[in-house]
Amino acid sequence: MTIQEALEKLRSKELSVTELVQAYLKRIETLEPKLNAYLTITKDFALEKARELDKKGDFGAPLAGIPMNLKDVVCTQGIRTTACSKILENFVPPYDAVVWQRLKKADCVLLGKTGTDEFTMGSSNENSAFGPVRNPWNREYVPGGSSGGPAASVIADETIFSIGTDTGGSIRQPASLCSCVGLKVTYGRVSRWGVIPYASSLDTIGPLTKTVEDAAIVLSVIAGQSEEDSTTPAVPVPDYAKCLRKSLKGKTVGIPEEFFKKGVEPETEKAVRDGIEVLKKLGAKVEKLSMPLVKYSIPTYYFIAKSEASTNLARYDGIRFGHATDKPIEELEDLYAKSRAEGFGEEVKRAIMLGTYALSAGYYDAYYLKAAKVRALMKQEYEKAFQTCDALITPTSPFPAFGIGEKMDDPIAMYSADTLTTSINLAGVCAMSVPAGFSKNGLPIGMQIIGPQFGEEKVLHVGYAFEQATEWHKKRPKLN
């Protein structure tokens, strides 16, 4: 069900919130043994909120009675939040993240917390300490990552929508691999306060939904300045759902050819080129352009992301919160080193190692600083593209879902899954993945629509027009 459909049924009293929530809890119970999308199911909490809303009978709030879930990096007061890491296995936050405060105020009903790669580091969900989420279209395949739980739960209709995080593609790539809509906002559009960080200069928070309109509705609730996060500027928040129903005539979409090069599978390329034809028929002008720096986005990204991760993760020291070793220790330093070695998984250790190296004396200039300069040039490249284009169209992922286990022992092959998404985070711009087709073996393909900083309206506008003209977003996996 979409937000719009559910709101109509709730507001017309065709359904009570309790009935709706019970139906979702039942579906979760049936599907979870197959999908493993949820880490924690907040059944009692959801039913209590549902009863409260039914009793109040007021459906004026923008998301009143809508069942949803949060990726398990969004802190929820009194509800375990793990980042899918052993180091936070028993962590119960004493406060709510700003994004959850806002959703709560809009009267959402939380169904539970969904799976991610550990500390959001990964493109397949296999780095979770609590077992990988399965792709609902084919359970031998990965759902993508790191927001694999959010994406799988949305398309399997185990929730109406979900909130994920995107540092290098972690909302868009799983949305692409599972066939849902995934919106990565401009850096600073949504407050990060209370969300467990990966790389603070790249992290963003956004919705995964079944339609573009739903993404617009959720964004209007969660966007905007918050005093807890000094990187959220006072850019006004429009009613994003109001900007959708306009013609594409007079709009220009840019096609950066570098996004269709090496490594992009022919089926993916064809689906996206067909998508561009759809936009052309809707009246958009199509312009080819070149963005040569995109090819450097993976190394630029990993130096910046892993360096920031290594400093962010320094807080896990076995003292203030999280896992502490129970082995005998001599000195404080042993407590740090042992607790961290026991609590972190392999990809997180690899990130800390790479980041520590890139920031260490003698290497900082060659790696971190070099990457920060390339990043400056990449931002300029995007600014130039948006001088003539309203939005850019590319594939989201170079390939559809891959098999579980297929890329686990080759970090560079795994990082290549993010080839087409990381430059967007580096430039701080916004982008959305929308369903755009299927491979011949039935795996979803996503199309990425990129907009300038704080240009979410443009991205949503193009996405909505595309969605109205195609049927891809209506397809659902067979799960029985």
Of the residues 115, 322, 435, 463, which one makes contact with another protein according to CB under 8 A: 322
Query: Which residue reads 């286990």 in tokens?
Result: 405
User: How many other CB atoms sit within 10 Å of the CB of residue 250?
Assistant: 10
Helix (H) or strand (E) holding 434: strand 430-438
Among 43, 321, 406, 475, binds another protein (CB under 8 A): 321
Residue 181 CB, nearest distance to another protein (Å)? 24
DSSP, collapsed to helix, strand or coil, labels residue 167 as coil
Neighbours of 8 (CB within 10 A): 12
Among 1, 15, 335, 408, binds another protein (CB under 8 A): 335
Residue 352: CB minimum distance to another protein, A:
5
- CA-CA-CA-CA torsion for 333, 335, 337, 342, nearest 10 degrees? 180
Closest distance to another protein from the beta carbon of 306 (Å): 9
Q: Which residue out of 49, 71, 113, 210 is catalytically annotated? A: 71
Q: Please pick, from the candidates 7, 196, 324, 434, the single residue that binds another protein as defined by CB under 8 A.
A: 324
Q: Which helix (H) or strand (E) holds 13?
A: none
Q: At 228, phi and psi to the nearest 5? A: -75, -20
**Interaction residues for another protein, span 220-239 (CB under 8 A):** 227, 230-231, 233
The active-site residue, picked from 146, 176, 397, 439, is 146
85, 147, 170, 310: the active-site residue: 170
141 to 160, contacts with another protein by CB under 8 A?
A: none
Taking the complex as a whole, how short is the minimal distance between the CB of residue 285 and another protein, in angstroms?
A: 28
Among 262, 320, 440, 478, the residue binding another protein under the rule CB under 8 A is 320
**Could you tell me how many residues of this chain bind another protein (CB under 8 A)?**
70
Quote the tokens at residue 368. 């971190």
| Nearest alpha carbon to residue 348 among 291, 395, 277, 411 | 411
Interacting residue with another protein among 100, 344, 402, 464 (CB under 8 A): 344
Among 257, 270, 412, 441, binds another protein (CB under 8 A): 412
The smaller minimum CB distance to another protein, of residues 198 and 466, is found at: 198
**Minimum distance, C-beta of residue 303 to another protein, in the bound complex (Å):** 7
Provide the strand spans (E) within 56-180.
67-71, 109-114, 161-166
Contact 325, 86 (CB under 8 A): no
340 is a site residue for another protein (CB under 8 A): yes
- The string of DSSP codes covering 241-254 is GGGSSS--TT-EEE
Nearer to another protein, 321 or 438 (CB): 321
Q: Which is nearer to another protein, 319 or 469 (CB)?
A: 319
| Between 314 and 469, CB nearer to another protein | 314
Query: Do 149 and 372 contact (CB within 8 A), yes or no?
Result: no
- Confirm or reject binding of residue 357 to another protein (CB under 8 A): yes
Nearer to another protein, 332 or 469 (CB): 332
Examine residue 337 and tell whether it contacts another protein (CB under 8 A): yes
SS3 165: strand
The runs of H, that is alpha helices, within 156-296 are 172-178, 212-222, 266-281
Rounded distance, CA 207 to CA 222, Å?
9
Using DSSP bridges, classify how beta strands 161-166 and 204-209 pair: parallel, antiparallel or unpaired: antiparallel
Is 288 part of the annotated catalytic residue set? no
Q: How far is the CB of 172 from another protein (least distance, A)?
A: 18
413 touches another protein by CB under 8 A:
no
For residue 316, give the DSSP letter.
Answer: -
Residue number, 275 or 343, with CB nearest to another protein: 343
Contact 102, 16 (CB under 8 A): no
* 341/469 with CB nearer another protein: 341
CA distance 295 to 218: 33
Active site residue 201: no
The angle formed by the CA atoms of residues 201, 207 and 211, to the nearest 5 degrees, is 140
Q: Catalytic site residue 307?
A: no
The yes or no reply on residue 356 touching another protein (CB under 8 A) is: yes
CA distance 160 to 23: 12
**Cα–Cα nearest to 279, from 176, 385, 389:** 389
Task: Tell me which residue of 438, 422, 341, 343 sits closest to 123, measured CA to CA.
Answer: 422
Span interacting with another protein, options 111-119, 121-129, 180-188, 209-217, rule CB under 8 A: 180-188
Which residue in 273, 285, 338, 475 binds another protein (CB under 8 A)? Answer: 338
80 makes contact with another protein (CB under 8 A): no
Side-chain-side CA neighbours of 10 within 13 Å: the count stands at 30
Within 263-302, the residues that bind another protein by CB under 8 A are: 293, 295-296, 298-300, 302
Instruction: Give the distance from CA 366 to its chain's centroid.
Output: 31
Interatomic CA distance for residues 291 and 385, integer angstroms: 8
Residues that bind another protein (CB under 8 A): 91-92, 94-95, 186-188, 201, 227, 230-231, 233, 293, 295-296, 298-300, 302-303, 310, 314, 317-324, 329-338, 340-341, 344, 346, 349-350, 352-354, 356-357, 360, 367, 369-377, 379, 411-412, 426-428, 453-454
Active-site annotation, residues: 71, 146, 170
